[in-house]
Amino acid sequence: MLNRQAASLLSELLIMVFHIFLVMLLSGVGSSSVLNSTSLEDQLFQYIDDHQEKFVQTLEEWVAVESDSIQPAQRSKVIQMVEKAKLRLQALGANVTLVNLSVQQVLDGRNISLPPVILAELGEDPLKPTVCFYGHVDVMPAKKSDGWETDPYVLTDIGGNLYGRGATDNKGPVLAWIHAVSAFKELRKDLPVNLKFLIEGMEEAISIGLKELVEREKEQFFSNIDYIVISDNTWLSKEKPALTYGTRGNAGFSVEVQGGERDLHSGALGGIVQEPMSDLIALLDSLVDSSGHILIPGIYDDVDDFTEEEKKLYEPIEFDIEQYKVDVGVKKFLYDTKEEILSHLWRFPSLSIHGIEGAFHEKGIKTVIPSRVIGKFSIRQVPHMNLSTVECQVKQYLEKEFSKRNSPNKLTVYAEEGASPWITNISDPQYKAAAKAIKRVFKKDPDMIRDGSTIPIAQMLQDITKKSVMMFPIGAADDGEHSQKEKISRKNYINGTKVFSSFLLEISKLHKELLRGSK
């Protein structure tokens, strides 16, 4: 009799515990302790799928703001865009500060206000890692008359691609981060990391004033961050995700050749004067040979050795040379193999000639000898080339080449504002966490790539904060940033939101493991 009563009591107790557990599960109370991270991921992904129309609508609203930072007349639109981003972050519960910068002097001599920079903080749990995301909400100029098939400020879905200025550079990725965080909030799940946001409105205009702000905030806003993530570039492939661990720098130069006081008639004086244009063409031709090799002595001295270990990173990269030719619109590259092409695009310097100021360029022919011409070229630097050293090498070489011509004309070589290359360690924890997140969402391992272009913010943040920086793109190779066909695919926009949410979980786990290991 007692055994039956005990059994009945135990049965009732188990039923009661089950009911309590079920109520907690359905209400979300205590769910963080009874659900593992994988099931939480599934919930986050489902929420993101269920709200993708809303996410696309928000991107449409952001693209509609003509936040062109290049043209001063659009400055109010940039400020409006910063305000929109601020409101989104405040809706997440972030503590947002708008930091006013100095003024910008524009070409007509006026001083206009720079847009404020957003510094936002969400969470301050000392037991969690702190991740800082950098993004920008300004865009390059765009007009339909430039060759757009659609209005650049009306987000247009064509075959699953969302076309519009800023869709991939950088409004789409910024929103993907915000949506990833909102998924945790709306599901009432604890954010696994502390988050900080650094969002500016002058990236396309060389981030005027940002470096000074980061230096001022080094011991404040940036003092307790563990990782910095930038999502402002694209994959190498149209389909396979990538993580970027290096970019080239850039050193721009102008070469001015000054002849007489005024332009001359080629019929009256051609053949008896040393023409500035001839001097300039000869100098420009002396910079690089037909194989792309830079002829300036010493320019390769500080380039890192191309090790066998680094070459192995190229082996798994998906890269279709013939398709790349089609995408770029050329018939032949200077090199024939994947390793040669990618290494000369990423980890060797290149020199490009961009144009000549002072030359006649309209239709027809103008029989004039220009008195003053300026050639423009740049060198994409790589680790560990030094910007000052490169400037000296260029000036010395051009002056030597010019002296060989015995020209009576005057040569002036001056360097434009430059940017340093950036490289980081792919063994850093956040690269491992991001790779796991990509595998989870896209079902494939990412390509580990470098970028041939220049993204100054990466090196600047790494130099000043001394923190680990990672570039984590979600845009595909054909997104056409800055072009008349800029877009982000709907798939990448939504999956990018998922992969960012997964990354936050993964970096939290890895960081805890590192802390346990250090103890």
**Cβ-count burial of 149 within 10 angstroms (0-12 exposed, 13-18 middle, 19+ buried)?**
exposed
Confidence at residue 417, expressed as pLDDT on a 0 to 100 scale: 81
Confidence at residue 35, expressed as pLDDT on a 0 to 100 scale: 42
CB atoms within 10 A of CB 355: 10
**Is residue 1 predicted with pLDDT exceeding 50?**
no
Q: Which two tokens stand for residue 335?
A: 């090199």
Q: 104-118, 145-159, 211-225, 298-312: which has the minimum mean pLDDT?
A: 104-118
Confidence at residue 106, expressed as pLDDT on a 0 to 100 scale: 87
**Is residue 18 predicted with pLDDT exceeding 70?**
no
Distance CA 419, CA 397 (A): 21
Residue 486 CA, distance from chain mean position: 15
Catalytic residues: 138, 203
- pTM of this structure: 0.87
pLDDT band at 37 (very low <50, low <70, confident <90, very high): low
Average pLDDT of the residues in 410-417: 94
| Per-residue CA distances from 142 to 102, 455, 516 (Å) | 26, 21, 51
Query: What does pLDDT average to over the chain?
Result: 92
What confidence tens digit (pLDDT) does each residue in 247-270 have?
999 999 999 999 999 999 999 999
Distance CA 21, CA 15 (A): 10
Distance CA 294, CA 417 (A): 21
Q: Which ranges of 329-386 does DSSP label H, i.e. alpha helix?
A: 338-346
Share of the chain above pLDDT 70, in %: 92
pLDDT band at 515 (very low <50, low <70, confident <90, very high): confident
CA dihedral angle for residue 20, residue 22, residue 26, residue 28, rounded to 10 degrees? 60
Ranges of beta strands (E only) in 39-183 are 95-99, 103-105, 111-113, 117-122, 130-136, 156-158, 161-163
Distance CA 323, CA 336 (A): 13
What confidence tens digit (pLDDT) does each residue in 213-260 have?
999 999 999 999 999 999 999 999 999 999 999 999 999 999 999 999
